[in-house]
Amino acid sequence: MDNISNYELQAILEKKDPALWALKHRFIKGNPMTFHSTKTALKHRPWQIDILRDQHPNKTVRKSRQLGLSEMAITEFIWFLDTHNNTKAMYTFPRKEQMEDFSNTRIAPIFEESNYLMSTLDKKMNNVRLKKIRDSVLFLRSAWGSGLGEGADIDILGLDEYDRMKDNVETAFQESLKSSHYGFMRRWSTPTIPGRGVDFLFQKSDQRFYYHKCDKCGHWQFLDPDNIVCIDDKKVDMINEIIDDGAYQFQCKRCHKELNRWNKGEYVAHYPTRKDIRGYHISQLDAVWISADNVMRNQFEYKSKQLFYNYVIGIPYASEGLIITDQDVYNCIKHQDPIGHRDYSKYKRIVAGVDWGHFNWMVVLGLTEDDRVDLLDLHWAEDNPHKPLESVNQFVALLKPYDPDVIVADNGFGADRNSYLLQQFPSKVFACDWDTPKNNIPLVDAWSDGSQRVRVDKTTKMKRTLYNIKGRALGVFNINGEGSEKLKMLIKHLKNVRTIVEEDEGEIYERVTRIGDDHLACALTYGYIALDRILGLHLPQNTDLLGEYDRM
C-alpha cells in the first residue's frame, strides 16, 4: 500500500464505497450530494447512506414517497457501472411513460451536472432507453411486459415502484441475471396492501428499521404514528381540516419528551439471522423536513386511508371490511354435502364459472325459485402436458348431467379451451375478458352473442362476490361434510382477494388484486356473471349491502 498514490487509493475506496463515490461525483441542482447537515433539513438524510452502501446481492426497500430513494437507487447503478468494467444494468419503472420521464428528468441531469460523469458517457449510445458508461451499459425499461426484459444478460436489476408492476412479469427480468457473476437484485416501492409486493419481500427479509435515540432518556425506537402527539388541541380543526403549526410533536415513547430527529440513528435488523434478503424500512416520519403537523395534514390530503399509510407512513394497509374470513364462509353453510347433479331439480337455472390455468378451476351454481344462489359443487384439474384438452374433457363430463344454461370462462388463458367447450355446449359458453376502469365509474357488461364473448368490470364483479359472501347470499356445503377439502380450498382462495386503492396521474381508483392463489374466487365470480346473463343484471342487486360494506 506504501507505493499507491493518493489518486489510486481514492479510486480503490470509491470502488468499494458508493457513498464516497457519490459525495465526489454526484451533484443535485448544482450542489454536491450530501447525507448529513446541521442546518438545512432537506440535505439531512442520514438514513440514505446505509441503503446506498449495502452491497447485499438481494436488497429490498419498503419506503414512503418523497425520500429521494429512487435517487439513491440510480446513484448505486451508475456507481456500479462506472467502477465495474464491462457490466450491464437494467433499471425499470412500471410504465413506459414513467421510465422516460425518470430518464429525462432524473438520470440525464446526473451526467449534465458532473464533468467527470459526462466524460464517461458514450455520446453515440446515450438516449432515453440506453446509456453506455465507459464499456458498461445501462438499460432503461418498462416492467409492464415480460418481453421487455428478454434478450439482455445483465449484472444488476432494479425494479422501481415494485408494487405497481404488472403481475407475473418479474420472472422474465430475473432470468437476465442468471449468467452474471454479480446477480444483484434491487427492489423498492411504496407498499400497497399487506402480504403483497414489496411488503411480501420485506416480511421475508431481515427487516431493518431506522432507530432514533432519545437524547432525554436514551431510549432507542423506530418511529410510527404513536410517536406523534397532539400538544395543543386548540390548533386542530378537524371539521374544516385545518391544523396550525405547533399542534403536534414527535415524542419519545418512553419519556414522552420531544424527540430530536436530527440525531443520527442506526438501522437495526429485527431478524438478523435471515440472510437471503436484506430489507429496509424508511418513512416520512424519519425526514426532519417533514414536521409532525405536516404528517397529520396529509391525512386530509389523502382521502383514502390506504394511500396515507402507504405514501406517508410507508407501511401497507388494508381495510378489514372486504377481507373474507373463515367465519364469513361458515356463516353461508346451508347444506351438508355438495349437492352435485344428484338433486338439482329444485333449481330453475344452473350455471358454471371456469378459471383456466396450469390448474383449472370450476364452480357450479344453482338458482332457486326464490332467486337464492347455492354452490352445488366445485372442481379443479391439473393440465396434462401430453393431453392439452384432458382437463377440459373432465369438466365437460362433470357438467353434462347438469345441462347448464350458461357457462362463463376465463378468456385470458383459455382461447382454445373455450372453443372446445363451446362445441360441447353450443351457444351457452361465453369467454370473459376483465377490464379495470380508472375513473371509478363501473362498466356495463358487454355481451356479444356473435363472438360468444363478454367484457366486464373486474373490480365491480369481484367485489360483488365478496359482498355476497359477507352478506350470506351464497349457500355452501359444510366444512365437515363430504366436500370438506373443496370448501377449504374455496376459503383459501377467497381470503387471498384484496381491494387496493391506487393513484394514476392524479386519479384515485380501486382495483382488485390478490396475495396468493385466487382461482376459485375468480371461477365463482364467473359463475355470478353467468347468472347476470340469465337475470339481465349488470350490478349487484343488494345495493344496501353494497353500501354497508363500502363504508367499512
Mean pLDDT of 284-303: 95
Closest by alpha carbon to 58, among 277, 279, 206, 281? 277
For 254, phi and psi rounded to 5 degrees?
Answer: -90, -55
Q: Minimal CA–CA distance to 147: which of 177, 126, 168, 161?
A: 168
Domain spans of the chain, in order of start: 1-33+66-189, 326-550
Q: How far is CA 390 from the centre of its chain?
A: 34
CATH 3.40.50.300 fits 1-33+66-189, yes or no: yes
Of the candidates 199, 201, 197, 184, the one whose C-alpha atom is nearest the C-alpha of residue 56 is 184
pLDDT at 549 over 60: no
For position 1, what pLDDT does the model report? Answer: 46
CA distance 385 to 387: 6
Give the pLDDT score at 545: 32
* Mean pLDDT within 319-327: 87
pTM for the whole thing?
Answer: 0.85
Give the C-alpha separation, 473 to 544, whole Å: 13
Tally Cβ neighbours within 10 Å of residue 223: 23
Tell me the mean pLDDT in the region 10-31. 88
Looking at residues 474-485, what average pLDDT do you find? 85
Domains 1-33+66-189 and 326-550 share a fold: no
pLDDT at 2 over 60: no
**Is a pLDDT exceeding 60 seen at residue 544?**
no
pLDDT at 220 over 50: yes
Q: Which segment of 258-272, 285-299, 498-512, 518-532 scores lowest on mean pLDDT?
A: 498-512
10 vs 98, higher pLDDT: 98
Does residue 320 surpass a pLDDT of 80?
no
What is the H or E stretch that residue 247 is in?
A: none
pLDDT band of 151, cuts 50, 70, 90: low
Using one digit for the tens of pLDDT, what is the confidence trace for 355-414?
999 999 999 999 998 899 999 999 999 999 888 789 999 999 999 999 999 999 999 877
Q: What's the CATH number for 326-550?
A: 3.30.420.240
d(CA 17, CA 303): 42
pLDDT band, residue 60 (cuts 50/70/90): very high
Q: How confident is the model at residue 439 (pLDDT cuts 50, 70, 90)?
A: low
Lowest mean pLDDT among 34-43, 222-231, 301-310, 533-542: 533-542
Residue 523 has pLDDT above 70, yes or no: yes
Contact by Cβ (8 Å): 278, 54: yes
Label residue 274 exposed, middle or buried (CB < 10 Å: 0-12, 13-18, 19+): middle
Measuring CA to CA, which residue among 136, 35, 144, 141 is closest to residue 92? Answer: 141
pLDDT at 537: 63
Strand partners, 245: none
